[in-house]
Structure 1
Amino acid sequence: MWTNGLSFSDKPHVSEQWSVKEEPRPPEEPDNSAALKSACCTALTEMSLDDSSALHIVQENGVYIIAKLILPEEGGAAAASLQCYAFRTLRFLFSVERNRPLFKRLFPTDLFELFIDVGHYARDLAAYEELQTVVSLYTEEKLEALREGIRSVDQSRPPLKVISGYSILEHLGTGAFGSVFKVQKQSGQNLLALKEVNLHNPAFGKDKRSRDSNVEKIISELTIIKEQMTHPNVVKYYKTFLDGEKLYIVMELIEGVPLAEHFTSLKEKQQRFTEDRIWNVFIQVCLALRYLHKEKRIVHRDLTPNNIMLGEKDKVTITDFGLAKQKQENSKLTSVVGTILYSCPEVVKNEPYGEKADIWALGCILYQMATLKPPFYSSNMLSLASKIVEAEYEPVEEGVFSERVPQMIRWCLTPDAEQRPDVVVVSSRISDLMMRLMDGLYTSHNALERRAERDRKRAQKCFMGKQAGEAVCCNSCQENPPVRADPLTHSSSVACSSVHGEQEVNQDSRSSSCVPADKNVATVDFCALKFKPRPVSAGICVSQKMLRQIHDPIQKLLVQLHKVIFITQLPPSLSADVERRLVEKFKKSLFQLGSDPYDLKVELSKLLQASPELIEINGATSGWWSLLHPPTRDPESPDSPADRYVTDGVTYQQMQGIIEKLLEQNNYYRSTQSS
């Protein structure tokens, strides 16, 4: 530390006085704190260049925390500089389109205009000095308005309102049919998305009767979708309900950014999608469409960049199934819905359409990923419709991507629906890319499995080492086990007397059970460190009458194993017995290739404790379905145990009940008692 330009080494008496009478100088703390906060703002500014990182900053209440730094404080140039750093970080976060509605609540109108005029991704701090000057000249009334705006973006504040038990935390956006909010159920912790649909929208009908009819159909279709769809690239729907004149849809909250916002962000940064990234997104959308079209016969009908969310590592989730419709096989849909920019020619011409309408939209999205603009655009609706029907669009710039990209675009944007491929044929054209993606996923999966296996073995080794250490200590303590007292030897009190030496104590202790009195000595530590317990001079004597038999926990596990093996050794029954086959399957899993004694102990412990966990049977010859429905017998009735186990799985508690039932039926307890 320096004082008046001199170090304490030059002025030893100053050092002595400082240590006795003075505290460290307070002025240094604000300077250091401001510099540290400025450095943090710089780091956050650089992180904001990545849209995913910017989203994480906002989700972690970063806007509120950083915005508090723009309030003027005493501290001279350092404080003013910190305000500029904070404004720059906020401006970079504002450059991500999804974050912009948040800033409308944050700043007063005059300050918001200056904030916008700075421009996107301006690094020079001088560009933010005018904002700092304006805030420093604010009156107390204007400062209080700014403080109120900062408090309004605090995500930890109480909920805005509560709707049917859901606390409204944040307004995420507004679409053609309503708004979407981030919510949290009052009785839970999970964050969800709640879509609010205004039923007075003309799309639902002009009078109450038609509105009620259409709303009933929408709820019915959403219920079907909710019950059917389980796919990693498709949003999950949980609940729909009516509250007044509004329809609410509770769905999974996707922590990501719409593809449309990525387009806007890349244009502002003057960047573009790489071809690998394009195919990564395209393949995931194809996987989702194959699931919807071929397995669930659902046509999305409004597939747009706004309804494709990109999460961590560009993980795709298709959202907004408000216009989706389930169709019968080989049937066509006729209602005109969706966004005109991505509508296929048959929709524009008001002709029946099917799942290939989504393929046309997929081609439009592929084109926009390559060029950052939609293939069909015009301010004149007739001109736009004509371009769509004739599939007239500006070709993709040559030399930027491989020929495969424009070929796929032309193929998906085939105006004739009969000639346009379905999602399976589209996927077949990029099978090599899909296989490469699967290789990457398989490699990643294997790496995670190996890591999990290493962690499991490490935990197992630690557990077994501890158990072995305790066993060694117990054996060392039992080298001279207690025996029944000999009437010819000394009494217990003499045996534990401190008068005798260590050798005499060890010899005479055979006449009683003696426990060392020193509790600070841990036997496990002795084993681990290979130390021998120090000799003790006194002990605690326990009478033989106080001794109780110790129940061996291993014996209980062996009893469970004996029961399982007993059932599997029974003669085969005349008819197929599902419960017997379940026990046999469980026994095979206990001794399957790759299992070890530790796994056996864990599984038997769960069975003994009747754990509610589902039994995971891996590595056996066939799955649950083939186990419970062998081809040699008729399918079970809907109320049979087989269907119940196939649907819900088998828990350790249920397995224990099955085992006990089979043991009773085969007189297990009578035979064991008689023997």
Structure 2
Amino acid sequence: MIRSRLNSANFEFIQEVGHGAYGTVFKVRLKNGSLDYQHGEPQSYYVIKRIHMKNLKESEKVRQEREAQTMMRLNHPFLIRCYDAFSEGEYLSLVLEYAEEGNLDAFIKRRRDQIGGIKQSELMRICWELCEGVAYLHAKKVVHRDLKSTNILLARNKQVKIGDFGTSRELHGEEELMRTHIGTPLYMAPEIISRKPYSQKADIWSLGCLLYYVATLKHPFQNTDLLSLYFSVLHERPKMLEMNDKVPAAFAQTVMRMLSRDANSRPEAKDIQEEKQKELDWRVVSIK
């Protein structure tokens, strides 16, 4: 059972910003005070994800509450923060950090329309913020299971915020494997498609697909129907990332390793961080 000092009366509901199968997302303002400070300033806005629990199966209700409890335990600059959660009648509400710049997919498409694609400095920053966020999750034994461009949000300074933990899973042992067929097909690891047991390395595949897409605005596998897509993932190799003035060689090689069909051949997220520090000349710069 979720218990909290907050309820809906503490918030001013400004507008609906999203709607899905499980409920509705609202932009809100806390009527008094602030739950957190961003860059030395009080956070002005939040998001409330309101989940309608009445018609959910009991197992799904448990999963939704588990998601809230998991998110409240996570605290990292590259993850959407969950400040609180509360139950009211038929609804479970999560109080989340507001990412005012929208999602990564919309951002890179704007860059494509404006200047033909994102800059190398932007690519490198987004890449390593994503890797650091995933490394933190895996260190906490959390597997996201649905990393994709629309689930990556951007804060005011374009800082990456990994969001939507609705399909995430918290592991309880070093060798624990998962079996649920879950995720988004364009980002789904071969072992999930094959309905084999899988580990955190499924997230690394999804992250590789995501970085490939950010760099090229193309998915590594682009078949138009689901069966052809699954066949390509299981039996073909994606086109090698072309190294150019935007895509350094070390970055391209790392992404292709992440897209190895053999899960054991994929790097750990923490290993990618170490490679970044040793091999890549990158600078954290402000994205204008």
Alignment partner for residue 333 of structure 1, among 160, 175, 178?
178
CA RMSD of aligned residues (A): 2.6
* 1:221 Cα offset (Å): 3.9
* 2:75 paired with 1:230: yes
Name the one with the larger helix percent: 1
Distance 1:214 1:173, change over 3 A: closer
Tell me what 1:404 maps to.
250
Report SS of the residue matched to 1:257: coil
Given that residues 391 and 415 in structure 1 are in contact (C-alpha distance below 8 angstroms), is that contact kept between their aligned partners in structure 2? no
Alignment partner for residue 269 of structure 2, among 384, 407, 423?
423
Alignment partner for residue 316 of structure 1, among 160, 164, 169?
160
Identity over aligned pairs, percent: 28
Q: What code does the residue aligned with 1:358 have?
A: D
* 1:410 Cα offset (Å): 1.0
The alignment's TM-score, normalised by the length of structure 2, stands at 0.83
Given that residues 391 and 414 in structure 1 are in contact (C-alpha distance below 8 angstroms), is that contact kept between their aligned partners in structure 2? no
* 1:299 Cα offset (Å): 0.7
* 1:375 Cα offset (Å): 1.8
Alpha-carbon separation, structure 2, partners of 1:433 and 1:164: 52
Name the one with the larger strand percent: 2
Alpha-carbon separation, structure 2, partners of 1:365 and 1:172: 24
Segments of structure 2 that go 5 or more residues without pairing to the other structure are 1-6, 35-43
Q: What code does the residue aligned with 2:216 have?
A: T
* 1:175 Cα offset (Å): 4.5
* 1:437 Cα offset (Å): 3.9
Report SS of the residue matched to 2:167: coil
Given that residues 53 and 91 in structure 2 are in contact (C-alpha distance below 8 angstroms), is that contact kept between their aligned partners in structure 1? yes
Alignment partner for residue 191 of structure 1, among 45, 55, 58?
45
Given that residues 283 and 434 in structure 1 are in contact (C-alpha distance below 8 angstroms), is that contact kept between their aligned partners in structure 2? no
Q: What code does the residue aligned with 1:289 have?
A: V
Tell me what 2:142 maps to.
298
Q: What code does the residue aligned with 1:308 have?
A: I
* 1:378 Cα offset (Å): 2.5
Alpha-carbon separation, structure 1, partners of 2:60 and 2:186: 25
Alignment of 1:336-351 (within 5 A): 336-351=181-196
Farther off after superposition, 282-291 or 181-190: 181-190
Distance 1:285 1:185, change over 3 A: same
Distance 1:432 1:413, change over 3 A: same
Number of equivalences: 269
Alpha-carbon separation, structure 1, partners of 2:222 and 2:89: 38
The alignment's TM-score, normalised by the length of structure 1, stands at 0.37
Alpha-carbon separation, structure 2, partners of 1:356 and 1:320: 19
Q: What code does the residue aligned with 2:65 have?
A: I
Given that residues 240 and 256 in structure 2 are in contact (C-alpha distance below 8 angstroms), is that contact kept between their aligned partners in structure 1? no
Given that residues 259 and 306 in structure 1 are in contact (C-alpha distance below 8 angstroms), is that contact kept between their aligned partners in structure 2? yes
Tell me what 2:12 maps to.
167
Bigger Rg, structure 1 or 2 = 1
Tell me what 1:383 maps to.
228
Alpha-carbon separation, structure 2, partners of 1:264 and 1:357: 26
* 1:398 Cα offset (Å): 5.2
Distance 1:385 1:198, change over 3 A: farther
* 1:163 Cα offset (Å): 4.1
Tell me what 1:90 maps to.
none
Report SS of the residue matched to 1:405: helix
Larger RCO (alpha carbons 8 Å, 6+ apart): 2
Render the CA deviation track for 1:87-140: whole Å, top value 9, x for unaligned.
xxxxxxxxxxxxxxxxxxxxxxxxxxxxxxxxxxxxxxxxxxxxxxxxxxxxxx
